[in-house]
Chains A and B, each alone.
Chain A
Amino acid sequence: MSGFTISRRTMLTGPAMLLASTAMPTLGWAQTPKKGGRLVLAADSEPRNLNPAIVASNGVFFISSKIVETLAEASFDGKDGLAPRLAVSWEGAADGLSATFKLRDGVKWHDGKPFTSADVAFSALQIWKPLQNLGRTVFKDLSAVDTPDDLTAVFKFAKPTPFQLIRNALPALSSVVPKHVYEVGKIEDNPANNAPIGTGPFKFGEYKAGQYYRLTKNTDYWGKDEPYLDEIIYQVLPDRTSAAAALEAEEIQLAAFSAVPLADLDRISKVPGLKVITKGYEGLTYQLVVEINHRRKELADLKVRQAIAHAIDKDFVVKTVFLGYAATATGPVPKNDPQFYTADVPTYPFDVAKANALLDQAGYRRGADGNRFSLKLLPAPYFNETKQFGDYLRQALAAVGIDAQLVNNDSAAHIKAVYTDHAFDLAVGPPVFRGDPAIWTTILVQSGIPDGVPFSNQGGYKNPALDALIAKASETLDTAARTDLYKEFQRQVAADLPLINVAEWSFISVASDKVGNIANNPRWAVSNWADTYLAG
């Protein structure tokens, strides 16, 4: 766990940063918050559907989390890691069949209509459950939402549902959209999907395709004296080198989501007036994973999988591929997760001799050319780092006599090859840990997933004991017992290696010194920025 946090600002350094769950609420830049101003930042992709209730993804949240709010947001110091937004309090029933949310009073939609529990009920039943990419899984047993009064919403579940899961899902899955806008016509075709109407500190201004998104201040926002900024402009900069140039030319003040490539960070951190910030993404951890196709007889052998795990030098990967901006992984839950992580799992230290011995024991001796067998290796193309790790893995495997042939595809082709066609032996994937293993982590190893589901177990792995454990955890209501089951889950995954977790990383922001209140929650880049300001 070498420095995930390289920065010229000493206040940001400290190797424990990735583990920070209860860190300082705000970073004390030597400035007083100031009202007004236009924040211009880089955007590298252009989501068209901006409705976060339908599309719960970071690309959409990056823009719409300022417009459409969730029931609660992630927090460094709040109870259970949450801070209230549209809900002020929440409580799960002991039987797991209901959850009660008390809503914030005096909140208005951007079109002036009042926000009520009817909006929450509509969003949950008509959008999160049937249409949302993640909600379809988490809210599958939601049967009704009662609204005894305008400020109370009671979620009813057909089957006992752990409240810990619902709570952990709130920051990403609970975007509330106005019922009066969406109740007419087909939800998927609603024009508000492209020009969202919410309760957030900023209103949707305009979108010029290929150029920018503009958000303007909501003068009727419920937060006292918020927001600070008058305007937020997302300038579309498709070329990654141009984000760094735009920062240096002072045309933009912020590049989030690692819009500045890792290799440029060292240079840009020395530019006067710019700062490199590694905090503010703790709730958006990506995992570097070797996905394994267990249909290959060699890979179905545990000894071979153990050998591959031993052949990977995780420290080298963190240092070389991620230039230190990452941490080594031990299992399917990242080290920085405050609730579920356990270090008490089988580990596979880098040991080429042991890897070779394991492969010999498994009966795969080196041939005349020094190779034991050949594999098709498909690195996911979404990040530079996944591609680079693919190159590294090829070399690491060559050292133990496995000949890996790299197959490089673009995103759509990769998704189809791995998750629909299963035309891979090893793949490098970057699954996201979403705050609770039940949201989208257990699906990586669970059996019985239909073909074509992306970022799921498409490697043909089947382990009845692990499936039973996952099923038991999904219906265990007691938080402590549930947490223990997920610790056991980590142990079993690390022992049987359905996939190999190599490293964990998140994003980096580069910002002008003038931008204040950056990174003050674990999902900062996708939070509402009501308190973000520009110093004079």
Chain B
Amino acid sequence: MTRTLTLVRRRLVGSIFVLLIVVIGAFLLLEAAPGDAVDAYIVSTGGDAGMIELLRHRWGLDQSELTRLANYLWALLHLDLGRSVTFSRPIRDVILERLPTTLILMVSATALSFGLGSALGIYAGARPGSLRDRFLSVASLALYAVPGFWLGLVLIVIFAVDLRWLPIGGIETLASNKTGLDRAADIAVHLVLPVSALGFIYLALYLRMMRAGMAEAWRQDFVLAARARGLSRRRIVLAHVARNALLPLVTMLGLQSAQMLGGSVVIESVFAVPGLGRLAQEAVAARDTPLLLGIILTSAVLVILINLLVDIAYAFLDPRVGASEAGT
């Protein structure tokens, strides 16, 4: 237990530096993009020189880059993310409103790709080289090669337009006043297509890793020992081969979380899901620097937390890993 605590403490201290680098880096990158929030705003309104000057002053864009970065970091030190110029609301509120949606989408999609991917991987890896193994490999790779938005559109055309089994988009029925379980069921129905589109793409990754891990494990001595003990094939596959092949997948889970956040930008747009990914896209188009910094910071915290959880889980699953890091 103390070992885990040491790990957590070390990670948290390191994270502060990571976050600082992320914020400053993102700020500089955004400043390098041509045009500011006022340029983005006047695209839809037009306006004379006086109005533009007024807006730049109101939004604090007449200050130097350094002043703005210093102000932002100073506010951040007080856990204040600032105000969004496009929403005219505190950024914390804007992000918290969207975060649950993206988390549900990510967790469900990860569960789908991890769960189904590893199950199919076990199924394929139980008999390496068999027909079902080859079929699954090809099919999953084909899915992996498909662009996310295209898969999303195809799902919409089939299941929402032609069959009308599922809604075309959104996170819940508009202005329906549903509460409690009704609302949860409503959200679940709306999530089926986006989660499938996002999850199926990454399914191949877990399937292939599981399968490769199993092919490796079959050659290990402990499998031979299990066979010699006369265990059933099913038991060998599940308890010995698959279990050992699962470890690298847990590592993958942590790395994958960052990629999922990126993939959700596209899926959220196609399915009109009001999540963080779409918010980030809007923030870039609107040059809403503080909002985008807030989103990047939130994502960075999420990724750090997930990887920390993965490491803790790993330390429990495989004591050798935790020991080596905490011991140095």
Contacts and interface: CB of A to CB of B under 8 A. Distances in A.
Interface of A: 40, 45-49, 55-59, 131, 133-134, 136-137, 188-189, 193-194, 205-206, 208-212, 214, 231, 233, 235-239, 241-242, 245-246, 248-249, 251, 382, 409-417, 420, 440, 449-455
Contacts of B51: 131, 133, 136
Contacts of A242: 156, 168-169, 270-272
Interface residues of B, number: 52
Nearest to B85: A48
Contacts of A47: 44
Contacts of B26: none
B14 interface: no
Given A410-B285, A413-B34, A133 B49 contact: no
A494 B170 CA distance: 49
A239 B269 contact: yes
15 contacts: A45-B44, A133-B45, A133-B46, A136-B50, A209-B274, A212-B175, A235-B272, A238-B278, A246-B168, A410-B285, A412-B285, A412-B287, A413-B35, A420-B39, A454-B43
Contacts of B87: 48, 209
A416 B169 CA distance: 35
B279 to A, nearest CB: 7
Interface in B150-172: 153, 156-157, 160-161, 164, 167-171
A385 B34 CA distance: 23
Nearest to A194: B88
Given A210-B274, A241-B153, A415-B39, A136 B171 contact: no
Nearest to A449: B49
B98 interface: yes
A239 B39 contact: no
Given A241-B153, A412-B33, 18 more contacts: A47-B44, A57-B44, A206-B175, A209-B98, A211-B171, A212-B174, A212-B175, A231-B175, A239-B269, A241-B270, A242-B168, A245-B157, A382-B43, A411-B43, A415-B39, A454-B42, A454-B46, A455-B46
A131 B286 CA distance: 21
A252 to B, nearest CB: 9
A246 B169 contact: yes
Given A209-B94, A211-B170, A236-B272, A413 B33 contact: yes
B48 to A, nearest CB: 5
B192 to A, nearest CB: 15
B35 A416 contact: yes
Interface in B37-59: 37, 39-40, 42-52, 58
B52 A453 contact: yes
Contacts, number: 149
Contacts of B278: 210, 238
Contacts of B133: none
Contacts of B34: 409, 412-413, 416-417
B35 A412 contact: yes
Given A188-B58, A249-B168, A413-B34, A233 B174 contact: yes
Given A242-B156, A249-B164, A454-B42, A237 B272 contact: yes
B241 to A, nearest CB: 43
A238 B43 CA distance: 17
A134 B51 CA distance: 10
A205 B278 CA distance: 24
Contacts of A211: 170-171, 174, 272, 274
Given A238-B269, A245-B157, A415 B169 contact: no
B86 interface: yes
A193 B87 CA distance: 11
Contacts of B160: 245, 249
Contacts of B275: 210
Contact of A136 (B48, B153, B175): B48
B168 A412 contact: no
B43 A415 contact: yes
Contacts of A415: 35, 39-40, 42-43
B35 A453 contact: no
Contact of B174 (A40, A137, A241): A40
A452 B49 contact: yes
Contacts of A49: 88
A57 B167 CA distance: 32
A239 B157 CA distance: 14
A56 to B, nearest CB: 8
Give the interface centre of A55, A134, A251 by most chain B CB atoms within 10 Å. Answer: A251
Contact of B175 (A134, A214, A236, A239): A214
B36 interface: yes
A186 B42 CA distance: 21
Contacts of B171: 211
A40 B88 CA distance: 26
B97 interface: yes
A189 B272 CA distance: 29
Give the interface centre of B33, B40, B157, B169 by most chain A CB atoms within 10 Å. Answer: B169
Give the interface centre of B36, B156, B174 by most chain A CB atoms within 10 Å. Answer: B174
A43 B323 CA distance: 55
Nearest to A47: B44
Nearest to B88: A48
B45 A55 contact: yes
B167 A251 contact: yes
Nearest to B169: A242
A409 B97 CA distance: 31
Contact of A452 (B43, B52, B98, B167): B52
Contacts of A420: 39
Nearest to B273: A210
B170 A440 contact: no
A453 B175 contact: no
Give the interface centre of A55, A410, A412, A415 by most chain B CB atoms within 10 Å. Answer: A412
A450 B87 CA distance: 29
A522 B286 CA distance: 30
A5 to B, nearest CB: 27
Contacts of B36: 412, 416
Contacts of A205: 175
